[in-house]
Structure 1
């Protein structure tokens, strides 16, 4: 994988519970180091979109366990990763 845009073509699965989380919509990059810090995935059931905010899972690089051809396996507690995100998507 050479580009961050390659992440958008991969489905993200949480190996903690086997759930399919969706596809990457954005990434967070540390501009000082040039390293990818996290991937961003829209949270399902966007209940707050009615009020003008969307919730997303922001998954740190340390929680990514495996990147395959078609999927990204992550391991995390979804309650700890859900938040409002206003990135450059």
Structure 2
């Protein structure tokens, strides 16, 4: 089996999409890595629904690696039902 290799810059250009609703969540802001095991633990994306103001910071959404179903050439598909707020 041929495994694809991605650089951090390439991964940050992939759009994160929830497979349950088809919602576009945004692009990866950062990765949390377990340096002892050399594994990605989670991805971090900005929460676009909460706008930052002069006196507050925007919140980030941390998505566990177990919630990622597929990393494709253009998108990352996640099971994000607990991260999506229905309005």
Given the two structures, how large is their TM-score scaled by the length of structure 1?
Answer: 0.78
CA RMSD of aligned residues (A): 1.7
Point out where structure 2 has 5 or more consecutive residues left out of the alignment: none
Query: How many residues matched?
Result: 79
Moved over 6 A (4+): none
56, 59, 63: which one aligns with 1:59? 63
C-alpha separation in 2, matches of 1:9 and 1:45 = 20
49, 67, 75: which one aligns with 2:79? 75
Offset of residue 4 of structure 1: 2.4
User: Between Structure 1 and Structure 2, whose CA radius of gyration is higher?
Assistant: 2
Return the structure number with greater helix share. 1
Deviations 1:21-76 (A, max 9, x none): 011010000111110001111111224x2232221111111000001000000002
Point out where structure 1 has 5 or more consecutive residues left out of the alignment: 80-89
SS at match of 2:11: helix
